[in-house]
Structure 1
Amino acid sequence: MKHKITIVVIEDEKNICNFIETTLSTHGYKVMSAYTGKDGLSYIASVCPDAVLLDLGLPDVDGMDIIKQVREFSSVPIIVISARTQESEKVNALDKGADDYITKPFGTDELLARIRTALRHSQLPGSPGGSPESVYKSGDLVINFDKRLVTVGGTDIHLTQIEYKLVSLLAQNAGRVLTYDYIINQIWGPYADSNNQILRVNMAHIRRKMEASPAEPKYISTEIGVGYRMKESD
């Protein structure tokens, strides 16, 4: 019998919880729902799910505290689902260890896509069962990590070392939003200036080289005030 992927949903609004549960069950997931943070933490610790969907506005515990507590004992993918739209809230959740953030209201396709992305990244090298992907492909864009080669429509794109590192980092986390601070830390190191001007300049150069219309990017989207997200691989 095939193992069903288990997802814990921590959401106190029962209509939203029922919608998520029905959607995921229909697509073959096993769902465990909790209406309080306490119950949700208990499920995560006892069941060891494959992913967690977490509302921040819970009646007993703030969702930010749930993220912090879970990260003390588990690397399970956490996708925040919240009505909080402030950029600072999104950045805070991601910096505390959430893998992604969906703002209510959201559709079925977006929810399923974010779950697939989170599950795929939980299987990357360094995770149990992980295996490296040597090529990223989305439409005409192909990145061969082994050869350090970037092409669009078969044409080589000449990137500087920093530009390639940025593109590679985003592609290896395709579908996930990476915060400005995370990217700066990964590319320039922990002691780099947190001012993201240098990051924006490099991203502008990358888009001019890779995108047919840099003002309307096809491959790398900006999550305003939060960070960047590379389009999912085909």
Structure 2
Amino acid sequence: MTSVLVVDDDATMLRVLRTTLARRSFAVVTASDAGTALRLAAGRRPDAVLLDLGLPDLDGLEVLQSLRAWSSVPVLVMSGRTGVDSRVAALDAGADDYLVKPFAVEELAARLRAVLRRPAGTDTPDRVDVGAFTVDLRAYRVTRAGGDPQEPAVHLTPTEWRLLAMLLRNPERLVTGRDLLTEVWGGQYVKRTNYLRIYMAGLRRKLEPEPSAPRHLVTEPGLGYRFLP
């Protein structure tokens, strides 16, 4: 059966979608907050995600950006936010479709089938070595390669995770500054190149043996950045 993760803080909506999608032969798992949703997405690997934007612990756009850091799973946003800016922001963040609440369940099911028919991208490997560190994109954990499992993990912020993961899933390829800004912060931030300088400096301090002379997270002046394994 095709599996679907439904993320919404409205218990009634979760019950309705669980019942109606199950009748249409979908295997449904639900989450009412962002933390649970991200854990289920990593652990269950659903075939699609239905995502509400108004979650209690994290905005749905941040959940979407976190998913896109490591997965190409189809994401259908369902939200009461009706403005064009909200739809554009969700699509720029990586949503495959956007459905405004309230909606007919028949339309939701049709849009879900449509995004599932689209060719899937290639998921990032779960674990990638960056010099002396191993980055586990599935567990959101960075540890020293070959080190003590009990050793404290390197802490990365959500923004650092999204930035790093986009580079890791494009090894040795130039990723333009514009693409990074659009993917991590949204299309309205394409001129905020200072964001990239600040966050890349933070990542290098945490992962590079010599942050001032990076070997793995390399700048291509005037163009963007490149991850060298």
Q: Any unmatched runs of 5+ in structure 1? A: 129-234
For residues 110 and 87 of structure 1, the distance between their equivalents in structure 2, rounded to whole angstroms, comes to 20
* CA–CA separation in structure 2 for the residues paired with 1:68 and 1:60: 15
Match in the other structure for 1:183: none
Any idea what the Cα deviations from partners look like across 1:19-66, whole Å, max 9, x if unmatched? 111110001100000000100000000111100000000000100000
CA-atom RMSD, angstroms? 1.3
After superposition, the C-alpha distances for 1:141-174 in whole angstroms (9 at most, x for unaligned) are xxxxxxxxxxxxxxxxxxxxxxxxxxxxxxxxxx
Written as runs of structure 1 = structure 2, the 5 A alignment for 1:159-174 is none
Q: Say if 2:38 is the partner of 1:41.
A: yes
Q: Deviations over 1:116-152 (max 9, x none)?
A: 00100045xx569xxxxxxxxxxxxxxxxxxxxxxxx
* CA offsets 1:80-118 (integer angstroms, 9 cap, x no match): 010000100000000110000010001111011100001
- Please give the TM-score of this superposition, normalised by the length of structure 1: 0.51
Alignment equivalent of 1:28, drawn from 22, 25, 30: 25
Give per-residue Cα distances to partners, 1:154-199, cap 9 Å, x unaligned: xxxxxxxxxxxxxxxxxxxxxxxxxxxxxxxxxxxxxxxxxxxxxx
Distance 1:127 1:75 in 2: 7
1:49-198 matches, cutoff 5 A: 49-123=46-120
Deviation at 1:14, TM superposition (A): 0.7
Q: Secondary structure at the match of 1:101?
A: strand
Q: Tell me the TM-score normalised to structure 2 length.
A: 0.52
Question: What letter is aligned with 2:82?
Answer: T
Whether the aligned pair in 1 keeps the contact of 2:72 and 2:122 (CA below 8 Å) is no
CA distance in 2 between counterparts of 1:51 and 1:28 reads 14
Q: Aligned residue pairs: how many?
A: 123
Counterpart code for 1:117? A
Task: Quote the Cα distance in structure 2 between the aligned partners of 1:33 and 1:109.
Answer: 19
Paired letter, 1:56: L
Paired amino acid for 1:39:
T
Q: Secondary structure at the match of 1:12?
A: coil
